[in-house]
Structure 1
Amino acid sequence: MTCTELAALLVDYLGGELVVEHHETVTVHISGCKKCEVFVATYRHTVSVARALPKCGALPPAFEARLRAALGDTLGTE
């Protein structure tokens, strides 16, 4: 498994949604790759911090439109 392949499976890995064989492959890669070990730990921490943030109301429509436009290429949506 490459680091790029791990990154593509990370959300499913952390969500417990991978089949056993893929989960084990990811776990083995993380245990042998310091870069990915740090990446996964940072990702877990980021999710934890984001979940702890207070909920906010709706975004102002103009801001939401700009944000969606900026993220459109990243998310593959318009």
Structure 2
Amino acid sequence: MTCTELAALLVDYLNGELVIEHHETVSIHISGCKKCEGFVATYSHTVRVARALPKCCSLSPAFEARLRAALNEHLSE
């Protein structure tokens, strides 16, 4: 398994939605790859923190459009 393959499966892995063979493959990769071990720990922590945040109202359409544009620009770099 490569680091890129792990990243593609990460959400399903953390949600316990992978078949056992894939789950074991991901677990083995994480245990042998310091980069992915740190990535998974950081990602898991971020999800926990985000879920603990209070819910707020919807974003205005203009703000949401600016935010999406900024994220798309950042992700395309």
**TM-score interval (norm. to shorter):** 0.7 to 0.9
- With normalisation by structure 1, the TM-score equals 0.84
Runs of 4+ in 1 over 2 A off after TM superposition: 65-74
CA RMSD in angstroms comes to: 1.9
Alignment gaps of 5+ in structure 1: none
Q: 1:61 to 1:8 in 2, by over 3 A?
A: same
User: Within 2, Cα distance between the matches of 1:37 and 1:26?
Assistant: 10
- TM-score for the superposition, normalised by structure 2: 0.85
Q: CA deviation at 1:65?
A: 2.5
Q: Provide the secondary structure at the position in 1 that maps to 2:6.
A: helix
Structure 2: segments with no counterpart, 5+ residues: none
Seq. identity, %:
82
Alpha-carbon shift at residue 67 of structure 1 (Å)? 2.6
